[in-house]
Chains A and B, each alone.
Chain A
Amino acid sequence: DSGVTQTPKHLITATGQRVTLRCSPRSGDLSVYWYQQSLDQGLQFLIQYYNGEERAKGNILERFSAQQFPDLHSELNLSSLELGDSALYFCASSPPSGNTIYFGEGSWLTVV
């Protein structure tokens, strides 16, 4: 158990819908990262927050958005879902030193 908690673990939804994935980082970690992993695209970095502020942006679609709240938990919002958004979405966190990144178990999203 890495200490990073993600909910829900599995989610099935229809095209055009909107979902929110939630992540609680390890206690004391200030950075939260979101990744998308699919069979055809591999592991893709989406976005990083550090202590509530966006620090880096990767291949995140405009239909997707994220935020980190004052209690440091983070949410990834996916809207106007398409079949191709079906993937495993990982959250990860790291301490202020940044010396290790810990991954959650992921949220499996299936869009039908």
Chain B
Amino acid sequence: AQSVSQHNHHVILSEAASLELGCNYSYGGTVNLFWYVQYPGQHLQLLLKYFSGDPLVKGIKGFEAEFIKSKFSFNLRKPSVQWSDTAEYFCAVNAPGGYQKVTFGTGTKLQVIP
């Protein structure tokens, strides 16, 4: 069974600091990987996704993630965070095919201090 681990539950950063949120998954086959963001009081929105090809994926709002197959990791990064990045971030994985179950990590709450 697939699983996703997000080791940082709560991260506090000052504006302009760099961000890296860890995501490790457990699955033996080909995977699709996602990062979602949930701003306070809102629903989950797709930040970026990886299916194949270049392991460095660029998403919206300056976010990027790198897929490292050997480490089963898909860490999210942003060079300089803003107060508006305060949100909860979820990593998710599924196997290719629309009928496959999607597994989410427990989420990381990011608080950016002005």
Contacts and interface: CB of A to CB of B under 8 A. Distances in A.
A98 B45 contact: no
B94 interface: yes
Interface in B83-100: 90, 92, 94-100
Interface residues of A, number: 29
Nearest to A98: B98
B60 to A, nearest CB: 13
A101 B102 contact: yes
Contact of A50 (B43, B98, B104): B98
A97 B44 contact: no
Contacts of A42: 106-107
A35 B101 CA distance: 12
Contacts of B90: 43
Given A31-B99, A48-B101, A100 B94 contact: no
B34 interface: yes
B46 interface: yes
B32 interface: yes
A102 B95 CA distance: 16
Contact of A103 (B44, B51, B97, B106): B44
Contacts of A2: 43, 45
Contacts of B99: 30-31, 50-51, 55, 98
Interface in B27-82: 32, 34, 36, 42-46, 49, 51
Interface in A47-106: 48, 50-51, 55-56, 90, 92, 94-106
A4 B103 CA distance: 19
Interface string A1-38: 01000000000000000000000000001110101000
A45 B46 CA distance: 17
Interface of B: 32, 34, 36, 42-46, 49, 51, 90, 92, 94-104, 106-107
